Amino acid sequence: MARFEILDSNAAPLGEGPAGGDMLFELGMMYSVGRDVPIDLVSAHKWFNLAAMNGNAEAVRLRREIADQMSDVDIAAAQRAARAWLRNASATTATAVAA
């Protein structure tokens, strides 16, 4: 299995195919515990939200736990970031299909 270094998590995932729930979950874990990045609950919530949308049940639980530690403003920011990531991923997929 290949190891990907994610230097810009807003552009993640890099590589072929759509993002899987497990990879998005791992990004959530990185930001929630500060593994190789500073702890950032907004980013962690975003990635757990995206992982949950991709069927990762553990992400649902951890997103809920993190939300309990966040303000409503931070949760809204995480949700906006998740929607922006989805729009970008859809645009990237559409461009790849057209090429």
The predicted model gives 60-66 an average pLDDT of 97
Cα separation of 89 and 96, whole Å?
A: 11
Looking at residue 87, its pLDDT comes to 92
Question: pLDDT per residue over 5-43, tens digit each?
Answer: 443 444 454 444 566 889 999 999 999 999 999 999 999
CA angle 28-30-35, nearest 5°? 165
Cα separation of 98 and 82, whole Å?
A: 24
* Average pLDDT score over the chain: 83
The predicted model gives 56-80 an average pLDDT of 97
pTM of the model: 0.76
Whether residue 13 is preceded by a cis peptide bond, meaning omega within 30 degrees of 0, is yes
Cα separation of 83 and 40, whole Å?
A: 18
Domain boundaries, the chain: 21-98
